[in-house]
A and B are shown apart, each in its own frame.
Chain A
């Protein structure tokens, strides 16, 4: 039980996919303009990661080693298609906001990376907890980045204006703001790590 909890927790802080492993950054930067978009993308990616981790750990014995990558990609693409169709049906506004980044979850290095580095060797239960932990870690990172960008870029949090006299700097809502925020956050987490190591 403690081991499973460990599998789950490692994705959130110690091996956070965004800040520690630096994987799957394309969607992270592109959709983090507002917190709602960030949460939507996080849930979509978590679902894909969970599904693909489970299926891949189930089929690991049947898949020949040489063609494993195409097999993994087909499994991942299937789950992405499910997410895409569900999102189109139930939340067209979110689907429009996320745009091409929903189909692009297929090539998110985080999902394929977990399949390759973990799920193809793990038991189903372990893979499930790993997928869940990684997905939640990814979602939390997205929420952090999008909260910073939404606050400084449009002066709002979850669509609510916080301070009356605050003039937002629109650069944070633009692509260059996304790159700046992720760069500074990565530097900050490195600083914390270095401090701890000393």
Chain B
């Protein structure tokens, strides 16, 4: 485990391979919820929390259940089930303990189950930090850190996008490109500017 590796994961996950703008994970929620800043922020925080927690959980499942019993082909099924259960559980806990927070997250929490970013991080962690069904040294810390960074990248893209779209409400745009098409074109320009981070490394 070395600090430089953490820096590399941070830059790669937040800027170079941004979940939304370069890996296209969680695109549905990105386009649907980025109309205003406040819900966008709520969604981003919820995603960040879930990607981090699911990185931790799926690492334990892969390392201590799937590898010892030689069941690595069950990766997809087990991960998605655990993520769905976990999201449901978190929703119940938040509803019970903190109603204001529950209202803040609203419907976005259950939606995260089918957010590709969450399963994407879990699969990506396994692909990057396990070689031939063996955990690389420090892989647990790298996985958790990557979970946080991917959530952070999602938050940045979401905040930028919602800021732009809020302004755009005041503009007169052609009827045919209103909403979805325009959102994609803006995302394309944002992705182009994120391309400038390419080659930036430690």
Interface string of B61-91 (1 = CB under 8 A from A): 0000000000001111100110011000000
How many residues belonging to B are interface residues under a CB distance threshold of 8 Å?
Answer: 46
- Measured CB to CB, the closest approach of chain B to A31, in angstroms, equals 9
| CB-based contact A26/B24 at 8 Å | yes
| CB-based contact B22/A175 at 8 Å | yes
| CB-based contact A103/B176 at 8 Å | no
Partner of A81, one of B22, B76, B84, B190: B76
| CB-based contact A180/B28 at 8 Å | no
- Chain A, range 94-109, C-beta contacts under 8 Å to B: 99-100, 103-104, 106-109
Closest chain B residue to A190 by CB distance? B176
Interface stretch of the complex, out of B47-55, B97-105, B114-122, B129-137: B114-122
Residues of A within 8 A of B (CB): 22-23, 25-27, 29-30, 69-70, 73-74, 77-78, 80-81, 84-85, 99-100, 103-104, 106-109, 112, 171, 174-180, 182-184, 186-188, 190-191, 194
Residues of B within 8 A of A (CB): 21-28, 31, 73-77, 80-81, 84-85, 113-116, 118-120, 123-124, 127, 174-178, 180-185, 187-192, 195
Give 17 A-B contacts (CB < 8 Å), ordered by A residue. Answer: A22-B180, A26-B116, A30-B23, A30-B24, A70-B84, A70-B85, A77-B80, A99-B127, A104-B120, A106-B119, A176-B195, A178-B24, A179-B187, A183-B182, A183-B185, A183-B188, A190-B177
